[in-house]
């Protein structure tokens, strides 16, 4: 990170970015930007490293001020000038550009002296409280959330934390650190791990439900199925793992779907719906996941001979109504429409009725809705008896197998 107070030229000049923010606000959209206060570039000529000629102007001296995993400079949050620099950085974007909040990058590195390097968190509370905690870093995060809310009480702050630090998303008055949301980073890792290592006919329904709901009460999480960690630098997107090479040859609506494409489309939709409805109080879509984008993102670098080939998203695919990408995108629209009506994610009323390993069925009640997922690769069920809290007839509102959404239309509407 070298440009703390400079908007990337990819967003144009400062006035261009201001126009972008204003335009988003005119559509009722809030703009949350990524902020990196966990480390800074080691560059001397165009960064703040060795700004005064020493190795400890904004950082710790010696090895303590160096992040070995990222080859970068680590801030010393006990220093007054560091706090002034970082807090004014937040105020600058709130005042000058009128952004609506921040996604704080790599918060784990701020909260612990070991920065998460070579450390695997198990959930034992001893890992969160002790000499390994950087109390200056924790105090900075509390200060940051305080300053942000004083400038804009409605601003949203999201923490990218892999550790699961308790009270991260509780208010400072409650003794918390003050973030609104924590990124549920386990979920995209879970989906990719399952797609890589376990054939879907062997997926555990109990493990899926536990993973989706394993979070602290009253601490809000952002659930998401795919992230940059999986879909960048040579890995595969969820769609690629599901469709493999057939993503290039089998996505036309004019041809009969192969078994792999048919199954992949069904799973791609169910993965997103299950993640949105169970995975947190908010939902994040990684660009292109809404329509099953093929290939990864890779920025020009020495490792790819500075190629721009993968440095884009093929938005033209979703605009081509002869391709099944259009159906996956339409599913995303309908999924979010029902969410906007019923506010499923924010509902605290959740009861998981069934996690049937043999039938590969997950059924739960939430927000006055009944969700029924059939992950079985070959079995359909009729007259499947389950208990619900309602003794009246049920109406099908949303069917992932609808023909208009790329499915086979096997359910009777109504």
What residues are labeled active site? 105, 160
CA distance 52 to 65: 15
CA distance 136 to 151: 22
């Amino acid at each position: 990170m070298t440009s703390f107070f400079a908007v990337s030229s990819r967003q144009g000049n400062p006035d261009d970015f201001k126009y972008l923010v204003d335009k988003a606000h005119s559509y009722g959209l809030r703009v949350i930007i990524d902020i990196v206060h966990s480390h800074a570039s080691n560059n001397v000529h165009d960064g703040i490293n060795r700004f005064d000629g020493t190795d400890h102007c904004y950082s710790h001296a010696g090895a303590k001020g160096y992040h070995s995993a990222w080859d970068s400079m680590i801030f010393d949050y006990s220093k007054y000038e560091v706090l002034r620099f970082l807090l004014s950085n937040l105020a600058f974007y709130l005042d000058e550009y009128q952004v609506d909040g921040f996604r704080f990058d790599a918060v784990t590195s701020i909260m612990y002296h070991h920065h998460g390097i070579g450390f695997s968190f198990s959930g034992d509370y001893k890992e969160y409280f002790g000499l390994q905690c950087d109390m200056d870093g924790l105090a900075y995060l509390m200060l940051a959330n305080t300053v942000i809310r004083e400038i804009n009480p409605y601003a949203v702050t999201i923490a990218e934390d892999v550790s699961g630090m308790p009270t991260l998303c509780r208010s400072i008055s409650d003794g918390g650190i003050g973030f609104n949301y924590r990124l549920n980073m386990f979920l995209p890792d879970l989906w990719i791990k399952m797609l890589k290592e376990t054939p879907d006919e062997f997926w555990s329904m109990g493990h899926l439900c536990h993973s989706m709901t394993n979070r602290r009460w009253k601490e809000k999480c952002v659930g998401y199925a795919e992230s940059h960690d999986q879909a960048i630098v040579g890995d595969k997107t969820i769609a690629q793992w599901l469709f493999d090479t057939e993503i290039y040859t089998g996505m036309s609506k004019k041809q009969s779907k192969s078994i792999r494409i048919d199954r992949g489309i069904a799973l791609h939709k169910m993965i997103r719906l299950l993640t949105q409805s169970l995975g947190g109080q908010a939902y994040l879509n990684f660009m292109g996941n809404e329509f099953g984008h093929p290939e990864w993102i890779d920025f020009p670098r020495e490792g790819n001979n500075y190629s721009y080939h993968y440095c884009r998203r093929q938005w033209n695919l979703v605009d081509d109504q002869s391709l099944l990408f259009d159906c996956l995108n339409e599913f995303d629209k309908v999924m979010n429409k029902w969410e906007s009506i019923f506010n499923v994610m924010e509902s605290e009323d959740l009861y998981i009725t069934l996690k049937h390993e043999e039938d590969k069925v997950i059924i739960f009640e939430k927000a006055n809705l009944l969700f029924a997922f059939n992950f079985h690769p070959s079995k359909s069920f009729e007259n499947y008896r389950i208990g619900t809290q309602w003794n009246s007839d049920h109406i099908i509102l949303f069917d992932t197998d609808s023909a208009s959404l790329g499915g086979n239309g096997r359910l009777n509407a109504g």
